Amino acid sequence: MGLSAVIAVSALFGFWTWRKQRRTGYRAWYYGRWKKVDRARRRRIARAVRRGKAVSDPRDAALAVEMIDAQQKLTNLTDRSGWKQGLHYAFLAVFVASVAIPSRGNLRTAGLALLPLILLTAMHFAARRLRARADWAREKNEQLTGKFS
């Protein structure tokens, strides 16, 4: 039962991701523009964006801005209305409570139930940090694009 649920959720998540990539145009950009650039150059651009810096070669600045735009369009959360954005946290908290309350004195079970909530919160803060760095990199690379175009 548990393994089949994991397989079903994985398949649904994969389908949802594929559909969102097609709807936002990310797949077309990824295979049409990004994959045509050589691997070392892609790595340099992605590393600079992750660090929030400008690319070393000004010719790559436009591609870095395109990469930031494509990623932010894909991960944009504004397509959900306000109260739905934190709804997954509420569902996870209800799940944790439903597992932790019946376990009463068993701290190991309660700790295992809290683990997904802790991981989701950590991923949320890491994503906010990466988004801020991408915004810094976007600003710096747009300046480079403006200087050399």
Are residues 67 and 22 part of one domain? no
- The radius of gyration computed from the CA coordinates of the chain, to the nearest angstrom, equals 20
Are residues 133 and 78 part of one domain? yes
Are residues 114 and 77 part of one domain? yes
Domain tally, the chain: 2
Are residues 41 and 23 part of one domain? no
Are residues 57 and 17 part of one domain? no
Q: What is the pLDDT of residue 23?
A: 87
- Which domain range does residue 63 map to? 37-148
Q: What is the pLDDT of residue 48?
A: 94
Are residues 123 and 77 part of one domain? yes
- Tell me if 45 is assigned to some domain: yes
- Tell me if 32 is assigned to some domain: no
Instruction: Please list the rounded mean pLDDT of every run of 10 residues in the chain (149 residues).
Output: 78 86 87 92 94 91 91 70 61 71 70 77 86 92 79
Are residues 139 and 77 part of one domain? yes
Whether the model clears a pTM of 0.85, i.e. scores above it, the answer is: no
Q: What is the pLDDT of residue 5?
A: 77
Cα–Cα distances in angstroms (integers) from residue 118 to residues 53, 93, 97, 125, in the given order: 30, 10, 14, 11
Q: Which single residue is written with the structure tokens 């954005």?
A: 85
Q: What is the pLDDT of residue 63?
A: 92
